[in-house]
Structure 1
Amino acid sequence: MPRGDKTKYTDKQERKADHIAEGYAKRGVSEKEAERRAWATVNKDDGGGKKPGGSGRGTDTGHPAARKGGRKGGQASAGRSKADRSAAAKKGWETRRKRSSGG
């Protein structure tokens, strides 16, 4: 099987890759790079193609790529001082309070 051949992937994996690539394209990533990243994400999630003959067929993958989300935010705020974090929290609370009361 040549490199880059997608015949072992399920329809669901292909839809998933298309959806991920769309998201990258919306953020200004080139089409080729978006496609590359999308398939890398599908591979990380599912461990490659899942059609008969592929390894690991029918096993739960845990979707590791989908869990990466909150890490960056946590790391960013950890580097700030307690006073900075507190000020940001107060500012956010004040904004939410104003918006919820309609004025």
Structure 2
Amino acid sequence: VGLAYWAYQENIKTQNALSQTEELQRDIGAARARLSVLRAEWAYLNRPDRLTDLVNLNYNRLHLTPLQAENFGTIDTIEFPYDNAFPLGELSDLVEVANREADQ
């Protein structure tokens, strides 16, 4: 009798797990469908001709200009703080941290 009860309980647990799995599969399918729609909308909204029209339409308010190589700088143009700008003082008892598994 005990073995039959155990088998019945396991059967119920298995059926519940299967129904949860089916529900999750449906949710995943719905999420993938939503994602594909969002990707299509994103591609549509980011068409170069549409963005160019938006820039031209809002130029007077936003002064948007196309990106060019001159818009980017080099690391030499960035100002870094002085060495003594941080109130930490002198660092001591430093510990080296490494991922030994990444070396393999």
- Larger relative CO (CA 8 A, sep 6+): 1 or 2? 1
TM-score, scaled relative to structure 1 = 0.21
Which has the larger share of helix? 2
Compare CA radii of gyration and give the structure with the larger one: 2
TM-score, scaled relative to structure 2 = 0.21
